[in-house]
Amino acid sequence: MSGQTIVVTGGAGFIGSHLVDRLLARGDAVVCVDDFNDAYDPALKRENVAPHRDAAAFRVVELDVREREPTIALVRELRPDAVVHLAARAGVRPSLANPWLYQETNVGGTLNVLEACRLAGVERFVFGSSSSVYGCDAAAPFAEDALDLRPASPYAATKIAGEAMVHSYAHLYGIQATSLRFFTVYGPRQRPDLAISKFTAGILRGAPIELFGDGTSSRDYTHVDDIVAGTLAALDRAAPGYAVFNLGSARPTSLRSLVAALEGIIGVAAKIEWSPAQPGDVPRTHAALERARAELGYAPAVSLVDGLADFIRWLRPRL
């Protein structure tokens, strides 16, 4: 579908800015709502959306979605065809230090955006959730119908709460809504606080890198192009009601294997410093993709080696 008006909250961030690129390229009008906060250098976020600065179909609104009335007023003014809500405090470890900020942004902010959609009559809503909702004990591969979710961090808890709020609005007000559980997303513009960013920068600089645990923890690393393809499929989905989908690669990779892959591509051995596993971290993530494949036509296409090489090409000149 194209020719629609789509609001992307968090549209200046890592995943959001890639989605904005694709929406504009296919002919949609996009309003990026972002507060450009300093969770990491906001200059990076401005750089992410700078290429579209003069595009007639693109607008940036600097707004904090924790502000209820301005959020409602904006969505009522825009009356978009759909909202993709990605604005959030992301990352597990900082959520232990300031759980209130995560609660206010990821739960309160999500409620504000949903309420704005209800009042503006927005018919479609896509929510950026996380594999972290599955916690430590879920049976792998993680399937969307798992009911016994045991979040291991405030971040994970806020994503479960966000999903629950989205469901309640879909149920009560007939908004067609989708929660997408993203699995460890990587690629160009990646948040600098993420492990792949730190490891790659360390290896390229010849600096030590800190690995937590014993190297056996594993993540279902997913390239941002695959995540954006799945998000567009969810946005264009015609089915009414509420649905939740995993967007992953179904290819869990251990921490040690990830570092070995980076070493192989860069051609330099990492200087590894081992530290104990961190509170809030989960031992593994592994996406079951049957539902996303069947209902979204989702088919992750970027191999880990190709995806890491793509990321390194982007990062190297920026160091």
The number of residues that bind ligand NAD (CB under 6 A) is 30
- Tokens 């825009």 belong to 78
Closer CB to ligand NAD, 87 or 296, in the complex? 87
- Taking Cα atoms as reference points, which of 227, 230, 295, 222 lies closest to residue 252? 222
Site string for ligand NAD, 163-182 (x = CB under 6 A): -------------------x
- As measured in angstroms, the least distance from the Cβ of 135 to ligand NAD is 14
- Taking Cα atoms as reference points, which of 100, 125, 144 lies closest to residue 246? 144
94 near ligand NAD (CB under 6 A): no
Closer CB to ligand NAD, 132 or 176, in the complex? 132
Q: Please give the structure tokens belonging to residue 34.
A: 């972002």
Neighbours of 146 (CB within 10 A): 15
- As measured in angstroms, the least distance from the Cβ of 8 to ligand NAD is 10
Has 155 been annotated as catalytic? yes
Helices (H), 181-303: 195-205, 224-236, 255-266, 290-296
Residue nearest to ligand NAD (CB): 13
| Cβ atoms 218, 253 nearer than 8 A | yes
Q: Please give the structure tokens belonging to residue 52.
A: 């579209």
Task: Determine which residue in the list 80, 109, 188, 248 makes contact with ligand NAD, applying CB under 6 A.
Answer: 109
15 near ligand NAD (CB under 6 A): yes
Per the residue annotation, which of 102, 134, 155, 169 is the catalytic one? 155
Q: Which of these ranges, 32-40, 52-60, 210-218, 232-240, lies near ligand NAD under the rule CB under 6 A?
A: 32-40
Task: Determine which residue in the list 6, 7, 8, 16 makes contact with ligand NAD, applying CB under 6 A.
Answer: 16
Task: Determine which residue in the list 179, 184, 217, 249 makes contact with ligand NAD, applying CB under 6 A.
Answer: 184
Q: How does DSSP assign 167-207, residue by residue?
A: HHHHHHH--EEEEEEE-SEESTT--TTSHHHHHHHHHHHT-
- Exposed, middle or buried: residue 219 (CB in 10 Å: 0-12, 13-18, 19+)? buried
Which residues form the interface with ligand NAD (CB under 6 A)?
Answer: 9-10, 12-16, 33-37, 39, 45, 64-66, 86-90, 105, 109, 128, 130, 182, 184-185, 191
